[in-house]
Structure 1
Amino acid sequence: MAPTPLASSLSTPLLTAFAGAQAHHWPCASNSAPKVFLLFIPGNPGLSSYYVPYLSAVYQNPSLKGRIEILAVSHKGHAPLPPGVSEVFGSNRNLANRTSRGKEVSLRDQIRHKIEAVDAIRKAYPSKRQGATSSDHGLTPTDEEEVKLVLGSHSVGSYMATEVLKARPDSIDGIHCLFPTIAWIARSPNGRKLQLLFQPLAYTLLLSIPLLILSLVPVTLLLPVVSFLTRQSENSARTTIDLLVTKGAVRNALTMASEEMKQILSMREDTREAIERFTRNEEDKGRGKPFRAYFSNGDEDGWVPSWIRSQVEADLDLKKVKLPPGLERRLGKLPRRPSIAQDSPAPSSINGRRTRSYSLSEYRAGHARSIPGLRNAKATRKATGEIVIETTVDDNYETQDEDRPQRVSSPDHLDSSDTRHTATSSVSTIGLPHSFCLDHGEEMAIITSYWLAKDHLGH
């Protein structure tokens, strides 16, 4: 009788740490090395706990179960560390003290931290491309045994993933970006709306004292209040409390957000080149490696509206791909509950048309295309005196911005079974929010698992 894998008897995920940051680990539930190792990079505020239901569903997916190992690494200084020192992932106490004081937690620091995670994984599971002949597990990599290291990412974690790719191109076998904010963050609706919150004085003047008071309140009393105010599940509400009461965590998250606004602008040329090399189908190397991006439909996502999505698709030459109809039907049958954590409400859509709102000043400044159907448009005046116009447009209507390059990607959609292209973009047809991890992890897990199995297990 084959021995029972140790991981199958453990309660997963394992709460651990990596180089001074909270982490969650799902060991491979088999006696052999995994076929796929998924390193997940969160968005901001960057707590891996938010993604536990989603990643647990990926781990348990029938197409991946027993073949996958997962490590989700929080951003340094954004989450509490588990007690004690993990010998597997290194000492953390001194690093935790520094991060609580706002040291080594910049956006660039967080990227270096994720590069260290890639190096640690490849030390355990070497790649043939790195010239390794053995690993800490006593395995000799072959075409069948080599572990595929895939970067999963969400929001600004996708920007970090592209930076990791530039630093370690030979270590990565695939990248899966969920609602990626990799261009023009400051000019998104949410970026414009929240820019004052990301100023250094916001934490000092508005948040420091309330957060100090919250840190003194027992979690048992905070939990029902946070759950009620945010309508989050118990797991998400506990994670939100961890963020609020961890010394320096909110300040570090806001500081990193401020850096994102300033640094993540137009698509960088070295990013385009890195992804082109990564996904190129060269005759001497065979099929290119996959870069998959998943977006919200239209302007549902306040961080990645349609014009930013179109720009990213054009800049990275992403081919639009529809998920299989059977997968879409399966997703549509899952029970879903509304959440106020969504970045913006989904626009109504009837017979392929939806409501589009824009300010009169925006229209006059040339930030919108000519709007069809002005005969039925409605104009209202806000309390600020600004005039807002509402009209109906086609679902595929996209706003444009006057000072960005007007590059438009092909409108054609490919079938997901088309293997000629490994750089693809898929758009949500069931209204998943940018903050999917709070309420809709199971749906996203089905989508992620589909691509992981298709790209790396040949399913």
Structure 2
Amino acid sequence: MNSEIKEEIPVHEEFTLCCGVETQVLKCGPWTNLFNDQSANRPKLLIFIIPGNPGFSAFYVPFAKALYSAVNRRFPVWIISHAGHVLAPKDKKILAASDDPNAQEIKDIYGLRGQVEHKVAFLRTHVPKETKLVVIGHSIGSYFALQILKHAPELPIIRSFLLFPTIERMSESPNGRIATPFLCWLRYALYVSSYLLLKPCPETIKSWLMRMALQRMNVQSEFSVLSVLEPFCLDISFTVVLETLNSAGFQECC
């Protein structure tokens, strides 16, 4: 798609409380609360993108813009961050939300199962029942999409697309046998180095490091990216990776 067209599509960043955790949502299309929009023009379908790990939502903005343009801007495209993976800037307003009562029972929201329940709770509380859903999962987000289908069959999901899915017996694969023990030990070295080296760094240094990393990935973002360098977010990312590697595999989630 023409890059000039993509630049014309505005993307709105919101932070909302979901299950008591601040959650970043990037929106192409209607920015208002869909429940409050009672007009005849309220969209009848929502395209919902679930990122891979580490849940860097802004990485998917060009993809979301292309989708929004491809559907002639008829249907909104939303990208949700994983719980705890994106921290709101100090000057950013966090919108309060009336969470699903059962969502407060999530004991380990930062774990693999908790992340699934986090997405279910968001969809239940932010998307009207009459709004159809197209769920797109990338990598570990594909596993989340399958779990949503399993644990929330009442959600009006009419299509689910799995992009480069991480869903089947990762720990039993040749790379998984090497990666699983390696990551178990690497996480402690990462925690120590991130707390000692990144935590004391000024925001300008963190911003520069992130810009360099994004430039190497050919990604440009105007949204909150510094949180990717926070030790807390790194901890959660590794937790999800390890739980995925140790999960029972495809048979369990289907």
TM-score (norm 1): 0.44
2:28 maps to what in 1? 26
CA RMSD of aligned residues (A): 3.2
Larger Rg: 1
Output one character per residue of 1:364-404: Cα deviation in whole Å (capped at 9) or x when no partner: xxxxxxxxxxxxxxxxxxxxxxxxxxxxxxxxxxxxxxxxx
User: Deviation at 1:234?
Assistant: 4.9
Partner Cα separation in structure 1 for residue 222 and residue 30 of structure 2? 28
Q: Say which of 78, 86, 90 aligns to 1:79.
A: 86
User: Deviation at 1:109?
Assistant: 0.5
Partner Cα separation in structure 1 for residue 200 and residue 177 of structure 2? 33
1:55 maps to what in 2? 64
AA at the equivalent of 2:205: L
Is 2:61 the partner of 1:45?
no
Output one character per residue of 1:3-22: Cα deviation in whole Å (capped at 9) or x when no partner: xxxxxx99422232341222
Question: Counting helix residues as a fraction of each chain, which structure ranks higher?
Answer: 2
Larger RCO (CA under 8 A, 6+ residues apart): 2
2:192 maps to what in 1? 209
1:173 maps to what in 2? 158
1:298 maps to what in 2? none
Q: Say which of 139, 149, 156 aligns to 2:133.
A: 149
Unaligned 5+ segments in structure 1 are 1-8, 92-101, 128-146, 272-459
- Contact 2:46–2:75 (Cα < 8 Å) also in 1: yes
Map residues 309-388 of structure 1 onto 2, 5 A cutoff: none
1:13 maps to what in 2? 12
2:181 counterpart SS class? coil
- Contact 1:18–1:73 (Cα < 8 Å) also in 2: no
Partner Cα separation in structure 2 for residue 238 and residue 192 of structure 1? 36
Aligned length in residues = 227
Partner Cα separation in structure 1 for residue 203 and residue 175 of structure 2? 30
1:17 counterpart SS class? strand
Is 2:95 the partner of 1:108?
no
Alpha-carbon distance change, 104 to 229 in structure 1, aligned in 2, over 3 angstroms: closer
Partner Cα separation in structure 1 for residue 158 and residue 179 of structure 2? 36
Is 2:233 the partner of 1:249?
yes
- Contact 1:17–1:24 (Cα < 8 Å) also in 2: no
- Contact 1:185–1:264 (Cα < 8 Å) also in 2: no
Output one character per residue of 1:318-358: Cα deviation in whole Å (capped at 9) or x when no partner: xxxxxxxxxxxxxxxxxxxxxxxxxxxxxxxxxxxxxxxxx
- Contact 2:86–2:228 (Cα < 8 Å) also in 1: yes
- Contact 1:34–1:67 (Cα < 8 Å) also in 2: yes
Partner Cα separation in structure 2 for residue 41 and residue 74 of structure 1? 7
- Contact 2:47–2:75 (Cα < 8 Å) also in 1: yes
AA at the equivalent of 1:248: F
Partner Cα separation in structure 2 for residue 238 and residue 210 of structure 1? 25
Unaligned 5+ segments in structure 2 are 1-7, 32-38, 100-106
Map residues 253-272 of structure 1 onto 2, 5 A cutoff: 253-268=237-252, 271=254
AA at the equivalent of 2:42: A
Partner Cα separation in structure 1 for residue 192 and residue 200 of structure 2? 11
2:251 counterpart SS class? coil
- Contact 1:17–1:81 (Cα < 8 Å) also in 2: no
Instruction: Compare 234-243 and 215-224 and name the one that shifted more.
Output: 234-243
1:248 counterpart SS class? helix
1:296 maps to what in 2? none
User: Deviation at 1:243?
Assistant: 1.2
1:195 maps to what in 2? 180
Partner Cα separation in structure 1 for residue 118 and residue 220 of structure 2? 25
Partner Cα separation in structure 2 for residue 12 and residue 236 of structure 1? 11
